[in-house]
């Protein structure tokens, strides 16, 4: 009886290619991670109610309310400076359809007057 000879498969080129792919993906992942540096704060996020915070509202039509009073953009800077001096917390409630430019302008005025941290009022999950 004749014995059949088993075919031999040389897997050395396959291992070489696989090794090169692994090196490529490891180096690519390292380059992508180093692009943006972000210093994230340490701690737990806690939802708290701002009871004495001043509510600043931007309506759908772009009008701005400081508390309950309608305010023009020219009046916003002195009011923000007074709130910054009194160390009042600001809570910004922008309508979902409010013009983005108005919200950005309000945030810019607050920042220029020394209010660097503004809370954003959000709707809860159940009220969509």
- Confidence bin at 43 (pLDDT 50/70/90): very low
Q: What is the mean pLDDT of residues 3-7?
A: 81
pLDDT of 114 strictly over 80? yes
Q: Identify the bridge partners of residue 54 per DSSP, sorted by sequence position.
A: 90
Q: What is the pLDDT of residue 14?
A: 92
Domains annotated for the chain, with CATH where assigned, are: 54-127 (3.30.420.270)
Estimate the crossing angle of helix 100-112 against helix 73-85, to 10 degrees: 40
User: Which residue's entry shows tokens 């969509």?
Assistant: 128
Please name the residues in contact with 120: beta carbons below 8 A apart, sequence gap of 6 or more: 91, 92, 93, 94
User: Which residue would you say has higher pLDDT here, 59 or 125?
Assistant: 59
pLDDT (tens digit per residue) in 54-103: 888 888 888 888 887 888 988 999 998 888 888 888 888 888 778 888 88
pLDDT (tens digit per residue) in 8-29: 888 899 999 999 999 998 888 7
């Amino acid at each position: 009886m004749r014995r059949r000879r088993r075919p031999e498969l040389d897997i050395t080129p396959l291992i070489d290619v696989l090794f090169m792919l692994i090196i490529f993906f490891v180096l690519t992942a390292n380059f992508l991670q180093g692009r943006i540096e972000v210093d994230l704060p340490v701690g737990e996020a806690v939802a708290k109610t701002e009871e004495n915070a001043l509510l600043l509202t931007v309506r759908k039509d772009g009008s701005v309310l400081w508390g309950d009073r309608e305010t023009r953009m020219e009046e916003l800077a002195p009011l923000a400076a007074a709130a910054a001096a009194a160390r009042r917390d600001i809570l910004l409630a922008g309508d979902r359809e409010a013009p983005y430019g108005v919200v950005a302008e309000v945030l810019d005025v607050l920042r220029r007057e020394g209010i660097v941290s503004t809370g954003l009022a959000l709707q809860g999950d159940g009220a969509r």
